[in-house]
Amino acid sequence: MKKLIGPIRQVLTLDQLPLKGALRDEQLEIVSQAGILVEGAHIVKVGSWAELKQEFPEVEIHELDGDYVALPGMVDCHTHLCFGGSRARDFAMRNAGKTYLEIAQAGGGIWDTVTQTRSLDQETLADITAKHANRLLSEGVTSIEVKSGYGLSVAEELKLLRGIQQAASGTAADLISTCLAAHLCPKDWKGSPAQYLNEIASQLFPVLKAENLCTRIDAFVEKSAFSPEEITPYLEKASQLGFDLTIHADQFSCGGSQVAVALGARSADHLEASGETEIQALAQSSTVAVALPGASIGLGMAFTPARKLLDQDASLAIASDWNPGSAPMGDLLTQAAILATFEKLSTAEVLAGITFRAAAALGLTDRGKLTTGQLADFILFPTADYREILYQQGKMKPVEVWKKGENVLSTRY
């Protein structure tokens, strides 16, 4: 049976907005006094409340009173939700002025999380992942990418990816998993980085396919992780097997974004260190540039040059990077609002970056806009003016979350 939700003061459909380039707020389509008609998991029509009620008299009505703004459910296209333990010590040491090396010598850094994550079983990791995902869902994020990358061996990466798959039954959000076995060459690996990557490609990739565990491969291209030369053959193998690629690129030093563009990756994420050459190459490609303001805030570093990327015609998505090390906050809306202030992004650019452009970074075209045929994933904010949402810098949370045509959260009363 069809359901009609409304009346809604403003529905921001994001219809007609392009995948790439700068956007002006005048380009936002706003349907006033609107209804959203859904059937099953999909949107049938967005239009005038009065007209929809007349045209579809037989539908189930979900009637709202008061002022609401509807946005597409947010898409967080880059997270590391599946982890054990905390890195509060690293955070405190970093803020107290300790260097990366001093923190590593004290037992901190990514390897610390690997150790803490390895000590947990699959069920526990599934529970943790679902709990994190449900927090994001309650904040309006209806599709969430989740990376492995704290296992760093064939068996441990499998445990994480199976845990992420298991977590999907503990949340109404869609989880899109990504294998990040190439996060770091593990400390306990007895060979070269190239040999580690060979082992992963030959022993893990076939199992990912056989068990349908993920369709995406990620790698951290950085001086402290893998060089462009080391990672290229690994990613080429992944690509040949039909995996989509995404890369942790240009976080502290450049190189990763060039690999991403050369190999046609879906996205290049971080980009805090990208210069003119990198920005231009990304802008001329179909690779989505993903800004991770949560990592800039967590590490006290520069933001991704989002304004420049958009002005040169790149596609820009924004993601939380929620992880225990560099981005412990995990609040996409707050971080996107802060990035907007520092990078001078229009509301349209921010909303596109956390919805359909983020979906594009995941290769998904069925979500991120409120138009006929799209998934009925949408969120309602308690305001009559959409501009209030970013103005309140993440403090205004959605009071209703709809996922695939179902009302999965309501705090309206």
Neighbouring CB atoms inside 10 A of 329's CB total: 16
Smaller CB distance to Fe ion: residue 225 or 375? 225
Stretch that binds ligand NIG, among 31-39, 94-102, 204-212, 316-324 (CB under 6 A): 316-324
How far apart (Å, rounded) are the C-alpha atoms in residues 313 and 238?
Answer: 28
| Contact string 195-234 vs ligand NIG (x = CB under 6 A) | -------------------------x--------------
Q: How far is the CB of 135 from Fe ion (least distance, A)?
A: 18
Residue located via tokens 């679902």: 130
Distance, in Å, from the CA atom of 335 to the CA atom of 325, rounded to the nearest integer, reads 16
* CB neighbours of residue 169 within 10 Å: 9
Q: Specify the stretch interacting with ligand NIG by CB under 6 A; choose among 155-163, 227-235, 320-328, 373-381.
A: 320-328
Binding window for Fe ion (CB under 5 A); candidates: 191-199, 250-258, 315-323, 384-392: 315-323
CB within 8 Å of 170: residues ≥ 6 apart = 126, 127, 129, 130, 133, 134
Q: Which residue's entry shows tokens 């300790």?
A: 98
Q: Which of residues 90-129 bind ligand NIG (CB under 6 A)?
A: 110, 113
Question: Residue 394 CB: number of other CB atoms within 10 A?
Answer: 17
Measured CA to CA, the distance from residue 1 to residue 265 in angstroms comes to 40
Q: Candidates 326, 334, 346, 383: give the one binding ligand NIG (CB under 6 A).
A: 326
**Residue count at the site for Fe ion (CB under 5 A)?**
1
Q: SS3 string of 34-80?
A: EEEEEECCEEEEEEEHHHHHHHCCCCEEEECCCCCEEEECEEECCCC
* DSSP-assigned letter for residue 169: G
Q: Which of 321, 331, 349, 400 binds Fe ion (CB under 5 A)?
A: 321
The verdict on 157 binding Fe ion (CB under 5 A) reads no
- Which stretch, 9-17, 138-146, 324-332, 353-361, contacts ligand NIG (CB under 6 A)? 324-332
Nearest position to ligand NIG, beta carbon? 325
Binding flag, residue 295, ligand NIG (CB under 6 A): yes
Residues in region 243-302 near Fe ion by CB under 5 A: none
Closest residue to Fe ion, judged by C-beta, is 321
> Any idea which residue has 């998505």 for tokens?
317
Q: Where does this chain touch Fe ion (CB under 5 A) — which range of 69-77, 314-322, 344-352, 377-385?
A: 314-322
Name the token pair of 254: 């450049």
Among 321, 343, 349, 400, binds ligand NIG (CB under 6 A): 321
Calpha distance 306→274 (Å, rounded): 10
Q: What is the pattern of x (binds ligand NIG, CB under 6 A) and - over residues 41-80? A: ---------------------------------------x
Count of residues near ligand NIG by CB under 6 A: 13
Minimum distance from residue 182 beta carbon to ligand NIG (Å): 11
Q: Which structure tokens are listed for 185?
A: 């060459």
**Exactly one of 323, 346, 347, 355 binds ligand NIG (CB under 6 A); which one?**
323
d(CA 84, CA 128): 8
Burial class (CB in 10 A: 0-12, 13-18, 19+), 202: exposed
Nearest approach in angstroms of CB 131 to ligand NIG is 18
* Separation of alpha carbons 177 and 145, rounded Å: 6
Q: Rounded to the nearest 10 degrees, what angle do helices 122-138 and 154-167 cross at? A: 50
Question: Which residue, 221, 215, 220, 179, is CA-closest to 200?
Answer: 179
d(CA 112, CA 114): 5
Q: Which of residues 249-278 bind ligand NIG (CB under 6 A)?
A: 251
SS3 assignment, position 128: helix
Selected from 20, 248, 369, 403, the binder of ligand NIG by CB under 6 A is: 248
**Does 340 interact with ligand NIG (rule: CB under 6 A)?**
no
Least Å distance between CB 76 and Fe ion? 11
Give the interface segment with Fe ion, choosing from 235-243, 279-287, 321-329, 404-412 (CB under 5 A): 321-329
Nearer to Fe ion, 321 or 400 (CB): 321
**Interacting residue ranges for ligand NIG, rule: CB under 6 A:** 80, 110, 113, 220, 248, 251, 295, 321, 323-327
**Interacting residue ranges for Fe ion, rule: CB under 5 A:** 321
